[in-house]
Structure 1
């Protein structure tokens, strides 16, 4: 504002100097030209008077404009009184202030008001309304598909993994030990007994899926539907095999760990017998007895296996001194411990309800075997069999079963 105040008087002073009263013109020696000089001097006088009048009017107008602009800035915005037709809005205020500083004539006011009205109309263009401009402001979207996360079974980490190039894996189970005895120096040495052997076969079951999609959706989709579908099939196959590792009945699938019990789908399938099942309520003393009921060679590498529901019940148990028997891990990636042994969570294990086998404990690497015929998903992309559909034919072959019934024990809640 100070810049405007200083600039206007300076300009007026310069103009006044140019139009000030000139010194009288002397025409001595010119004779007959005296009249012409007098006419020129009279004309210049008229021009000077008119110019001075206009300069005074301009100076008065600028003083009024400067005063108005000072009042606007002091008030923090344009808020005229007296029923002005100018809209009270920030954009118009800035435009009007710029108009005042420019020194444009009053005839521009109607044009400025028209601009204010057009600005109000333009303000009606809104992102919230599709027809009024919302289509011009699209939202950025994630070119992926979100879904609920699925818990991953630890069985593949705990069990023994065997990859084969044929459809099954076989091993021998030894029943009994060689006979022996004490003898004297010259005593006869009769024949002793020898162990018996029985085969155990782990046949590979097969998981398959055959979803289809049109070629057009595969071409036009903004995400890679083919890659997304393959990843979803991989997740689904993992879910299927994790269920089978615990509860599979062996029909075209692995035999589940929990089925090697009396009355289970794999009852009597192992030549060494079924798993030991202990029926006990969950308490500190019973858990200690249950843990030490496992033979020492297996207990050295033993792990607890249970669901989150069972783990929640165990975290509240305290020993006779009031100490919690559950210990949360202080190291990232390391499992919690129960009575000094690591705990693995498998949501496929039953909860701690009456009649459920809710806890497995033992050396799973020695006790359960997973047979991978092909450890990864195999995919055949078939665009020919059922046009216009493209089929994603996926398969995975895996088996599993009990390797040593002495390595793992199960705890069942009494009914």
Structure 2
């Protein structure tokens, strides 16, 4: 254990130095952005139009900021990856399952794994459906998905053993009333309930390995499997949680019916228009952001976040308040989040770009507003035949999702 720690120390030190350098580069780009944008605004005040050279420089700096932030995010994510099964005591059953699973991955030996899972009455013991991965690997995939799938990291996540989660919701709130100490308690009106269903759909990935990789005892197969699967799962999940149509995939929050927020009703998401088609309003563009913030009830507003893609965030970076302060602020630390008017900004590249009638910005309490449903267990089926000389690992999990509280999320629509 002592030797392993010594080997790991230089790695951690190097990662920390890289993150520190990347964060410094990002903050330097932000300072250059502010200086150049202030110069551009000064030029606009002195004459009707800005200088083309200054505008081009601002666009280049904005792009550089996005690139520095991307590199920084990747470095922070890499450092956050824990080593699987390295800490704490493990039961004999856990160690036995891990050993049997690794033997299955490397050599296709399914005898021990089948016996263990049959003994545990596991529904994953059917070789045609694959075998359940060890608990550590399952938990690691789930954790990393939360790190790199932005909506999952914001939403409520529930794990179920069945195919569908059914959830009642009191649309009109709980019925209550005031009474005196000795007075009779009259029956209250029955609350209006809505039953919401969140089915889980199958999500799969199929990483391939060479025989030499599987034969190399020094290769950490748990780590390799996690790295191969998590990015593929997170990419598909992230797109579905935003834009999914609910057919063989989760239903994204942008795929629900919408209505002007003044006419909001249950079952629809309220929208706030910018006042200009495909753009923010020419005068006081930040007023739309303020309107979206106060469109939420106070209870939802406390834990709310802005969700948008990098391109939209680039437009908002230039906004100032009446005192000349920038509304968008960079993260205070390397693993922190940028903020807009005091609320976190979450980057979701599956959000649409600013365009006419596009709902390019969402604002809300996604913990209350959106629900992610995971069916317990990740399965792996080894296939050495379909793509010789490679061995395929058909890896599946079941996941669902949808809006669970329609008043907790608002959308900013770029329309007149």
TM-score normalized by the length of structure 2: 0.54
Cα separation, 2, equivalents of 1:214 and 1:323? 56
Cα separation, 1, equivalents of 2:342 and 2:209? 52
Q: What are structure 1's unaligned runs of at least 5 residues?
A: 1-148, 264-270
Matched pairs, number: 258
Cα separation, 2, equivalents of 1:278 and 1:178? 28
Equivalent residue number for residue 163 of structure 2: 167
Equivalent residue number for residue 245 of structure 1: 241
Which of 327, 330, 351 matches 1:328?
Answer: 330
Cα separation, 2, equivalents of 1:390 and 1:365? 40
- Note closer, same or farther for the CA distance 1:159–1:211 as it changes in structure 2 (3 Å cut): closer
Equivalent residue number for residue 23 of structure 1: none
How far has the Cα of 1:391 moved from its partner?
Answer: 3.2
Residues 152, 346 of structure 1: 8 Å contact kept: no
Asked which structure has the greater RCO (Cα within 8 Å, sep 6+), the reply is 2
Range with greater deviation from structure 2 (285-294 or 243-252): 285-294
* 1:152 equivalenced with 2:148 (yes/no): yes
Equivalent residue number for residue 373 of structure 1: 375
How far has the Cα of 1:186 moved from its partner?
Answer: 13
* 1:256 equivalenced with 2:252 (yes/no): yes
Q: How does 1:62-101 map to 2 (within 5 A)?
A: none
TM-score normalized by the length of structure 1: 0.54
Q: How does 1:308-327 map to 2 (within 5 A)?
A: 308-327=310-329
- Note closer, same or farther for the CA distance 1:258–1:227 as it changes in structure 2 (3 Å cut): same
Which of 200, 204, 210 matches 1:208?
Answer: 204
Residues 171, 200 of structure 1: 8 Å contact kept: yes
Cα separation, 2, equivalents of 1:190 and 1:209? 57
Equivalent residue number for residue 105 of structure 2: none
Q: How does 1:180-195 map to 2 (within 5 A)?
A: 192-195=188-191
Cα separation, 2, equivalents of 1:360 and 1:234? 25
Which of 339, 346, 349 matches 1:347?
Answer: 349
Q: What are structure 2's unaligned runs of at least 5 residues?
A: 1-73, 78-146, 260-264
Residues 207, 229 of structure 2: 8 Å contact kept: no
How far has the Cα of 1:176 moved from its partner?
Answer: 2.0
Q: Which protein is richer in helix relative to its size?
A: 2
Equivalent residue number for residue 124 of structure 1: none
Which of 267, 271, 274 matches 1:280?
Answer: 274
How far has the Cα of 1:225 moved from its partner?
Answer: 10
SS at match of 1:237: helix
How far has the Cα of 1:306 moved from its partner?
Answer: 0.7
How far has the Cα of 1:374 moved from its partner?
Answer: 3.5
How far has the Cα of 1:371 moved from its partner?
Answer: 0.5
Residues 384, 390 of structure 1: 8 Å contact kept: yes
- Note closer, same or farther for the CA distance 1:163–1:184 as it changes in structure 2 (3 Å cut): closer
SS at match of 1:395: strand
Cα separation, 2, equivalents of 1:395 and 1:387? 21
SS at match of 1:273: coil
- Note closer, same or farther for the CA distance 1:179–1:371 as it changes in structure 2 (3 Å cut): closer
How far has the Cα of 1:174 moved from its partner?
Answer: 1.1
Cα separation, 2, equivalents of 1:229 and 1:245? 24
Deviations 1:18-69 (A, max 9, x none): xxxxxxxxxxxxxxxxxxxxxxxxxxxxxxxxxxxxxxxxxxxxxxxxxxxx
Equivalent residue number for residue 44 of structure 1: none
Equivalent residue number for residue 101 of structure 2: none
How far has the Cα of 1:385 moved from its partner?
Answer: 7.2
- Note closer, same or farther for the CA distance 1:231–1:337 as it changes in structure 2 (3 Å cut): closer
Equivalent residue number for residue 230 of structure 2: 234
**Higher radius of gyration, 1 or 2:** 1
* 1:303 equivalenced with 2:305 (yes/no): yes
Deviations 1:294-351 (A, max 9, x none): 1101001111111111111111011122221112222232211111111111111111
Cα separation, 1, equivalents of 2:306 and 2:175? 36
